[in-house]
């Protein structure tokens, strides 16, 4: 067991978890935050994307000991966070969600981009989301959604 | 319990693989007289939906063409492969690939354009299909979709222009291709075609909508609510969709066959119309109108028509109140029974479907003739949908269908060998990434159909079924050769046959007695605070080092063993990039994201920066480390060839001391290195390149544009002497031989030569004799050797260009 201390969606967390747990398991099984999805378990699909210290990472690739002292943000933070909320709204408006399984990961990858760049080009959006697979949408409306959110947030800033 | 992706890919059903023989007779003018089709379908271990899938294939096998003499046979066989059943398209993508590729072949024989051959044979109003059905009950819009798409894409001009290029071939060639289809809507004569719905008006005037067809993400809830709201004139926000329990609504058949809108929508239409009539009976006296048709229900209001001007009467809410007070039941059950269809099994004759949709897709591609890689640049997708109900959803179906179809066409190769699934996760079963998508232009064509709600028909599957044939025809336009098989993989395009892949090397490498299919990690971890502590822990030689974890996590997942893990990621002394004494030092736990953002790396080592930027994805580059990439020593590791190229040295530490080793000597073979079990790779040291002026070149080939496992890479640099002769050269091949490394025989052969046609010719001959004995009998040799020859020639051509640009700049 590891005694873990980290920040989750702006709140301090302390909990004991087994050594073999991945960040994904900690979120879903220990904390019941099931917004983060498990799609492939090998870092190929991005459904489990969360932010670690502001960077998009696959939570299936992070072992519990590596979570110590980090700042983790998940899709559940959409209730409080302006960027996530704006992305959520723009995903709905552009039809960027079909079955929805990839959506939380897509939105987290998009937030990592928007933290650094509120005027991204189409190429930059594609690079930010290249690790997130989607079977339904063909990605077109997802790109539109990120562009729309960026425009709104840029105008507000 | 978690169903792993591997288990899901093993146990879930797949599309039927088909082997198809088409024999066709046509006149010199291009009119098709006869077609004989013989198909063998792989049903896998169970029959499941094979009867139905293959039946649709039979109906549509000749495409949307009038052919007087047709014989179609399809047989399905049991095999020990994964069982096969319904998968978007349901027996149509296979036959469209064969039959629409064939149409372009006929066009070549008759010296017609792909458009002309389709217009000569294509269905018109009242045409008779292969099963003897007269297409008289709906608008036959094949010509309309074809002409609209062709015009929008400027197809004929582009097609002609690309053909000119074949005579003088550049490396990258453009192609344009089209495919069209007709598709029966809903189930047709497959079985009983009914559907059910409930519309319930609440006291506040809001609607509750329940249907037997279900939401899978296609936007069905919205569409169903839209239909009810349109009929009752209620704002969409006032409708609530409830997903029913199976037991609370009559069986309305499956949500398949692109029938959600047409079958579910008709049932909703039935229920909502009943309610509208019942409410009207209550309010007609007050409105002083005789017939429902004299009213307009819009935006929550019910107006009467007086002449052409709508006159305000009462709100929908008021009408509902009055109806409830009168004791009227404002919940209605809607039922849809499809118009009659017929089928005679013995003769293969009948009116197979009650209506059809028509579609045409045009693909523009760029083919890398040196490697066989197809990039789809632009797709025009014209579909007659009858009537668009939900525009955003309709466009979403087109985007999604086209991109999924592109995967089917180019990269999705379900690898199964003797019943064992070898492509069991998304690292081997390659679906398109966001980087692979073309520009897609959806074109919705509307010919309202009497059989559909507001005239709406089908869209979901037509969007998928056309693109593989369109890409194949574009390949023909670009290269003068098309393919008789899918997928159009690198090997299929380059060699015109696919190569049977063995089990992937990474799986073989981690196969031990303890290998496990449980996919659960077993680990004991320790996180030291200093390097010294870490080295002490490693002294027993039994620990695994965890840095970024992108390789170790996968390795542990495939193994039943409990791993002793030392987590070195927090050690700041290993995470840095610095320049000292003309040597760039990169700490081993520096991530690829940090490396590609580093100005020193970009200025002095552009080949390393390029290679690292193509690793995995943004998420992977954010955690994967250069040290891990080197020590894991995968044959496809992207950072290793550039490090050999730049003469890097590695610093290794153990409790006993430190040592350095040249990168080129570190890798012994795939997944095996010279590191001892008690050592940590602490730093990568790269000497700054010294003048004189040299030129560099890097090329990496993958099957996709992101999340790639590198198929082959080349790092090269050249220096020229006063006579423009090559005086110095280094070439490193990645993912080619047993381990990445320089090719000294090749370098010697090139030095002292001019870059000219003769060098290119000589290289072909010389490289084959260098590489053949080294590659041996690897499965990919027949592809990789000629491709590498091409890549060396391309590098030389690039150097020549760089050199002349440099000289021009100097002048």
Chain B nearest C-alpha distance from A53 (Å): 11
Report the distance separating Cα B776 and Cα B786, nearest Å.
14
- Residue A64, pLDDT score: 97
Span B651-661, average pLDDT? 97
Q: How far is A109 from chain B (nearest CA, A)?
A: 8
Minimum mean pLDDT among A135-144, B106-115, B516-525, B542-551: which range? B516-525
What mean pLDDT do residues B673-702 have?
A: 93
What is the per-residue pLDDT for B788?
97
Beta partners for B333? B198
Q: Which of B643, B628, B616, B534 is nearest to B589 (CA)?
A: B628
The pLDDT value given to residue B38: 98
Chain B residues closer than 8 Å to A69 by CB: 570
Residue in chain A nearest B218 by alpha carbon: A98
Assign B307 a pLDDT band (cuts: 50, 70, 90): low
Mind listing the pLDDT tens digit for each residue in B763-783?
A: 999 999 999 998 878 889 999
The strand ranges marked E within B617-773 are 649-654, 657-662, 667-669, 672-673, 680-687, 695-701, 712-720, 726-734, 741-742
Question: What is the percent of chain B with per-residue pLDDT over 90, rounded to a whole number?
Answer: 91
Least confident interval from B515-524, B562-571, B589-598: B515-524
Chain-centroid distance of CA B150 in Å reads 24
Is the ipTM of this structure higher than 0.90? yes
Q: Which of residues 334-373 of B touch A (CB under 8 A)?
A: none
Q: How far is A107 from chain B (nearest CA, A)?
A: 13
Quote the pLDDT of residue B343. Answer: 97
The 10 Å Cβ neighbour count of residue A58 is 34
* Cis? peptide before B786, omega within 30° of 0: no
Q: What is the pLDDT of residue B605?
A: 95
Spatial contact of A58 and B624, defined as CB atoms under 8 Å apart: no
Q: Residue B400 is nearest to which of A57, A63, A138, comparing CB atoms? A: A138
SS3 of residue B208 by DSSP:
strand
Say yes or no to pLDDT of B504 above 90: no
B residues 507-536 lying closer than 8 A (beta carbon) to A: 519-527
The minimal CB distance from B396 to the residues A64, A131, A137 is found for A137
Q: Between B264 and B311, whose confidence is greater?
A: B264
Locate the chain A residue with the closest alpha carbon to B563.
A20
What pTM was computed for the model? 0.97
Contacts of B219 in chain A (CB under 8 A): 95, 98
- Name which of B395, B524, B616 is nearest A95 (Cβ-Cβ): B395
**What residues of A are in contact with residue B437 (Cβ under 8 Å)?**
138-140
* Mean pLDDT calculated for residue range B14-23: 97
Which of A59-63, B496-500, B676-680, B802-806 has the weakest average pLDDT? B496-500
B780-803: pLDDT as tens digits: 999 999 999 999 999 999 999 999
Rg (alpha carbons) of chain A, rounded to whole number: 15
pLDDT, tens only, A11-25: 999 999 999 999 999
pLDDT-based confidence at residue B714 (cuts at 50, 70, 90): very high
Task: Report, as an integer, the average pLDDT of A91-118.
Answer: 98
With an 8 Å Cβ cutoff, are A66 and B440 in contact? Answer: no
- All residues at 6 or more sequence positions from B269 whose CB lies less than 8 Å from its CB, including other chains: B227, B231, B334, B336, B453, B454
Interface contact flag, B546 A63, Cβ < 8 Å = yes
Q: What is the 3-state secondary structure (H, E, C) of B43-75?
A: EECCCCCHHHHHHHHHHHCCCCECCCEEEEEEE
Stretch B717-745: mean pLDDT? 94
Q: Does B427 contact A42 at a Cβ distance shorter than 8 Å?
A: yes
The proportion of chain B whose per-residue pLDDT surpasses 70, expressed as a percent, equals 97
Query: Which residue is associated with the tokens 């180019």?
Result: B410
CB contacts, 8 Å: A137 with chain B: 396, 399-400, 403
Dihedral sign, CA of B756, B757, B758, B759? positive
Closest C-alpha to B454, from B291, B275, B266: B266
What count of CB pairs under 8 Å joins A to B?
169
Q: Which of B523, B565, B706 sits opposite A130 (nearest CB)?
A: B706
Q: What are B379-416's pLDDT values in tens digits?
A: 999 999 999 999 999 999 999 999 999 999 999 999 99
Q: Give yes or no for residue B169 having a pLDDT over 90.
A: no
Residue B575 has pLDDT above 70, yes or no: yes
pLDDT attached to residue B309: 61
Cα–Cα distance for residue pair B218/B227, rounded to 1 Å: 15
């Amino acid at each position: 067991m590891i005694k873990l201390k980290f920040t989750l969606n702006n709140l301090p967390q302390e909990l004991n978890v087994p050594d073999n747990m991945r960040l994904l398991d900690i979120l879903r099984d220990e904390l019941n935050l099931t917004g983060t999805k498990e799609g492939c378990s090998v870092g190929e699909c991005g459904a489990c994307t969360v932010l670690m210290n502001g960077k998009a990472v696959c939570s299936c690739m992070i072992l519990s000991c590596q979570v110590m002292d980090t700042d983790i943000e998940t899709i559940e933070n959409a209730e409080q966070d302006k960027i996530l909320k704006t992305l959520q709204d723009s995903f709905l408006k552009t039809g960027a969600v079909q079955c929805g399984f990839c959506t939380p990961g897509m939105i987290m990858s998009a937030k990592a981009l928007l933290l650094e760049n509120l005027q991204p080009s189409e190429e930059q959006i594609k690079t930010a989301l290249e690790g997130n697979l989607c079977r339904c949408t063909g990605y077109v409306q997802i790109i539109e959604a990120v562009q729309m959110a960026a425009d709104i947030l840029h105008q507000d800033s | 319990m978690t169903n792993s992706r591997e288990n899901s890919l093993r146990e879930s059903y797949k599309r039927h693989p088909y082997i198809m023989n088409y024999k066709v007779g046509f006149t010199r003018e291009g009119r098709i007289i006869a077609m004989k089709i013989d198909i063998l379908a792989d049903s896998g271990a169970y029959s499941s939906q094979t009867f139905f899938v293959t039946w649709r294939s039979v109906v549509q096998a000749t495409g949307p063409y009038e052919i007087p003499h047709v014989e179609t046979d399809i047989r399905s066989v049991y095999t020990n492969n994964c069982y096969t059943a319904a998968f978007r398209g349901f027996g149509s993508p296979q036959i469209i690939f064969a039959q629409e590729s064939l149409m372009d072949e006929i066009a070549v024989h008759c010296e017609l354009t792909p458009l002309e051959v389709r217009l000569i044979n294509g269905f018109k109003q009242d045409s008779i299909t292969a099963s003897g059905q007269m297409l008289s009950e709906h608008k036959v819009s094949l010509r309309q979709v074809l002409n609209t798409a062709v015009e929008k894409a400027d197809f004929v001009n582009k097609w002609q222009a690309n053909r000119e290029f074949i005579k003088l071939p550049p490396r990258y060639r453009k192609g344009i291709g089209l495919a069209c289809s007709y598709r029966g809507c809903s189930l047709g004569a497959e079985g009983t075609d009914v559907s059910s719905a409930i519309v319930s008006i609440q006291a506040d005037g809001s609607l509750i909508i329940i249907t037997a067809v279900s939401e899978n993400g296609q936007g069905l809830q919205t569409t169903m609510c839209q239909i009810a709201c349109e009929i009752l004139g209620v704002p969409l926000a006032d409708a609530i969709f409830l997903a029913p329990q199976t037991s609370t609504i009559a069986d309305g058949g499956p949500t398949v066959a692109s029938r959600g809108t047409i079958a579910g929508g008709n049932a909703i239409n039935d229920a909502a119309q009943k309610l509208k009539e019942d409410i009207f009976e209550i309010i007609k006296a007050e409105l002083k109108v005789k017939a429902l048709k004299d009213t307009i229900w819009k935006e929550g209001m019910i107006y009467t028509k007086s002449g052409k001007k709508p006159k305000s009467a009462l709100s929908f809410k008021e009408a509902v109140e009055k109806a409830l007070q009168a004791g009227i039941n404002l919940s209605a059950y809607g039922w849809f029974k499809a118009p009659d269809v017929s089928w005679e099994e013995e003769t293969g004759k009948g009116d197979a479907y009650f209506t059809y949709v028509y579609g045409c897709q045009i693909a523009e591609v760029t083919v890398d003739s040196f490697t066989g890689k197809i990039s789809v640049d632009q797709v025009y997708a014209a579909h007659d949908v009858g009537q668009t109900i939900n525009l955003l959803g309709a466009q979403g179906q087109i985007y999604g269908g086209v991109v999924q179809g592109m995967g089917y066409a180019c990269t999705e190769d379900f690898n199964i060998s003797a019943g064992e699934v070898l492509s069991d996760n998304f690292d081997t079963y390659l679906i398109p990434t966001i980087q692979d998508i073309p520009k897609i232009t959806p074109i919705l064509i509307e010919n309202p159909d009497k059989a559909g709600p507001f005239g709406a028909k089908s869209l979901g599957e037509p969007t998928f079924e056309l693109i593989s044939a369109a890409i194949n025809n574009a390949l023909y336009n670009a290269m003068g050769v098309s393919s008789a098989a899918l997928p159009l993989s690198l090997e299929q395009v380059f060699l015109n046959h696919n190569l049977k892949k063995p089990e992937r090397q990474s799986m073989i490498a981690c196969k031990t007695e303890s290998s496990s299919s449980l996919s659960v990690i077993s680990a004991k971890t320790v996180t030291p605070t200093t390097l010294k502590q870490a080295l002490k822990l490693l002294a027993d030689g039994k620990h695994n080092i965890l840095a970024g974890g992108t390789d170790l996590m996968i390795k542990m997942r495939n193994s039943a063993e409990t791993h002793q893990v030392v987590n070195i990621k927090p050690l700041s002394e290993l995470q840095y990039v610095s320049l000292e004494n003309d040597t760039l030092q990169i700490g081993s736990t520096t991530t690829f994201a940090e490396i590609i953002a580093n100005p020193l790396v970009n200025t002095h080592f552009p080949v390393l920066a390029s290679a690292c930027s193509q690793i995995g994805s943004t998420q992977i580059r954010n955690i994967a480390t250069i040290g891990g990439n080197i020590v894991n020593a995968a044959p496809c590791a992207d950072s290793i060839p550039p490090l050999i190229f730049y003469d890097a040295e590695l610093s290794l530490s153990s409790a006993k001391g430190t040592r350095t080793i040249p990168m080129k000597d570190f890798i012994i073979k795939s997944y095996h290195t010279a590191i001892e079990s008690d050592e940590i790779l602490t730093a990568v040291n790269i000497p700054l390149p010294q003048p004189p002026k040299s030129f560099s070149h890097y090329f990496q080939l993958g099957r996709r544009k992101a999340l790639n496992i590198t198929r082959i890479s080349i790092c090269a640099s050249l220096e020229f002497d006063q006579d423009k002769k090559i005086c110095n050269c280094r070439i490193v091949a990645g993912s080619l031989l047993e381990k990445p490394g320089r090719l000294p025989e090749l370098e010697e052969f090139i030095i002292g030569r001019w870059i000219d046609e003769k060098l290119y010719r000589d290289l072909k001959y010389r490289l084959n004799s260098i590489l053949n004995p080294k590659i041996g009998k690897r499965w990919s040799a027949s592809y990789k050797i000629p491709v590498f020859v091409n890549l060396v020639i391309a590098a030389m051509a690039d150097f020549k260009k760089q050199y002349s640009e440099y000289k021009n700049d100097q002048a």
